[in-house]
Structure 1
Amino acid sequence: MQLLHDTFAKAASENRATLIAYLPAGFPTVDAGIAAITTVLDAGADIMEVGLPHSDPVLDGPVIQTADDIALRGGLKIADVMRTVRAAHRVTGKPVLVMTYWNPVSRYGIERFAAELAEAGGAGCILPDLPVQESAEWRAQAAAHDLATVFVVAPSNTTERLDAITSAASGFVYASALMGVTGSREAAGESAKTLVRRVESATELPVCVGIGISDAARAAEVAAFADGVIVGSALVKALLDAPDETAGHAALRSLTAELAAAVQRRE
């Protein structure tokens, strides 16, 4: 978790937000997915979220669901996700987290999942559907293996709920810019800004904004008030729309470079 802390500290010292990218493991194949993830990290992303594809997502929009379906039909296993984390971290030296729904972790074994993620060099987990009041067992294992536990907060959360979530979180807090699922759409800038300020009043952890950030303009808008900017669907779409792997990597490099430049334009 120290690497995660150092990454946010370095960005803050440079008067910019961190760029956090998301791509699912196993898309379009395990090896091709590793290559895509390292391409994004090498092109300027500070932190990577490796998605663990799930057949019943609650937060993922149609773009990520399409990529997840490709990965699952390809036979993706949790071992492949761990291999992806290990390879991405070893090649780039940057923090790599797993974004996963709770059911795969619970079925795999909480202690086993945490231990294997730590052994792979993972920085932690983002758990969008794990209720904070039911998270004690996971948080104990995460702490034992020096893994961050990142929860998602939403504009609809009460102050009491935000206090409960942020007091249990570590690493950073994922603030949902909009209600609903992931995907590129018009972001509610004022709503996200208000949520960030509310979270900041409850915790000293970095606050990172995701959902609805599809291009450099929106990334720059969010970077003006958040510690991190999270982009997922736009990157997945760039890879989905590409005619081949070479073109896909070129599209990822171009988009990531634009986003990395945008998050440095702090107001």
Structure 2
Amino acid sequence: MSRSLSYIAFIAIAFIAIAFIAFSILDINYLAPKNYIMISVSAQFEQLRAKGQAALIPFLTAGDPDLDTTAKALSVLDQNGADLIELGIPYSDPLADGPVIQAAATRALNQGTTFARVMSMLHSVAPHLRSPVILFTYYNPILNMGIEKFLQSIYDAGARGLVVPDLPLEESEVLLQPAAEIGIEVILLIAPTSPPERMKAIAEKSQGFIYVVSTTGVTGMRDQMAKGAKEMIENLRTLTDKPIGVGFGISRPEHARQVIEWNADAAIVGSAIVKRLAHEGGLIEVAELCASLKRAIGHVG
């Protein structure tokens, strides 16, 4: 019996030691006691450009596996290389999302995650983050709540940016104008199928940065980056000096490095983060991935 107890005690001590080492290396602090001044998306890009740095933008689905974990994950990402953080509001019909993020949204909704609960969580966490938070949601929930009420709610909660993947360019002004007045920057997406004149119109209207969708289809992890993204970035550089972020398909450090070498200003990583967070030990895995992604993009120029 004494040997069994000694063995159990040894295992427990070893586990604690491993956890301590991991948390020390990866700078994980769930309490995030510091209060930061919440800056805009544009201001963050300006600061990074002044330092010669590219931006890392990880994505989370709020409420997966639960909102307490989401709050911790926001702090973990913020402390391990994230420059901005995209937070997805779970929606029952996520047309732009691939299977990993769709499954995360389903789990979150099944957990009882609501817009109000996400805003309450964000309100408590956002003041402790250095990274501006960008909300990702679909257009229908915004219309159902009312545009100005929605925008004011997310601003008060601490969000400073907004991505609406199914927002038609032709209707964007209805959202862009009140958002600018409240202090929310609406980031518009450019797809590989966008003709040059449409790319120019989107670049002119997009606030904060321009979100380049690297490949056709939905979000998700891929083995390599679509080379068409390089041409899109090159074309955009002739149209605008606004920051360019590339997403859809970035899952590895080498992918992130590739788009920065193609002259993008930011790498956006979603499914790879969400997949790791979905199981036990996910916070440490997310911290490791985030840190490795930031090391990969390093300095630019």
Quick check: TM above 0.5? yes
> Helix, strand or coil for the counterpart of 1:123?
strand
Which segment is superposed worse, 189-198 or 66-75?
189-198
- Residue 287 of structure 2 corresponds to 253
| Structure 2 letter corresponding to 1:257 | A
Query: What CA distance in whole angstroms lies between the structure 1 residues aligned with 2:145 and 2:218?
Result: 25
| Structure 2 letter corresponding to 1:46 | D
1:125 matched to 2:158: no
Structure-to-structure mapping, 1:19-38, within 5 angstroms: 19-38=56-75
Q: How many Å apart are 1:81 and its aligned residue?
A: 2.3
Which segment is superposed worse, 253-262 or 86-95?
86-95
Preserved contact between residue 185 and residue 212 of structure 1 (Cα < 8 Å): yes
Preserved contact between residue 27 and residue 33 of structure 1 (Cα < 8 Å): yes
- Residue 207 of structure 1 corresponds to 244
- Residue 26 of structure 2 corresponds to none
Q: How many Å apart are 1:198 and its aligned residue?
A: 1.6
Query: What CA distance in whole angstroms lies between the structure 2 residues aligned with 1:128 and 1:180?
Result: 12
Structure-to-structure mapping, 1:75-90, within 5 angstroms: 75-90=112-127
User: What percent identity do the matched residue pairs reach?
Assistant: 36
Number of matched pairs: 263
Q: How many Å apart are 1:2 and its aligned residue?
A: 5.1
| Contiguous gaps of at least 5 residues in structure 2 | 1-37
Which residue, 224, 230, 240 being the options, matches 1:193?
A: 230
- Residue 109 of structure 2 corresponds to 72
- Residue 162 of structure 1 corresponds to 199
- Residue 297 of structure 2 corresponds to 263
After TM superposition, the score normalised by the length of structure 2 is: 0.83
| Contiguous gaps of at least 5 residues in structure 1 | none
Q: How many Å apart are 1:79 and its aligned residue?
A: 1.1
> Helix, strand or coil for the counterpart of 2:131?
coil
Q: How many Å apart are 1:265 and its aligned residue?
A: 5.3
Which residue, 16, 32, 45 being the options, matches 2:53?
A: 16
After TM superposition, the score normalised by the length of structure 1 is: 0.94
CA RMSD of aligned residues (A): 1.5
Query: What CA distance in whole angstroms lies between the structure 2 residues aligned with 1:221 and 1:132?
Result: 29
Query: What CA distance in whole angstroms lies between the structure 2 residues aligned with 1:155 and 1:19?
Result: 21
Query: What CA distance in whole angstroms lies between the structure 1 residues aligned with 2:237 and 2:164?
Result: 20
1:112 matched to 2:149: yes
Query: What CA distance in whole angstroms lies between the structure 2 residues aligned with 1:81 and 1:120?
Result: 9
| Structure 2 letter corresponding to 1:135 | S
- Cα-to-partner distance string for 1:173-220 (whole Å, 9 max, x where unaligned): 100111111111033342111111222222221110001111111111
Change (3 A) 1:87 1:263: farther
- Residue 137 of structure 1 corresponds to 174
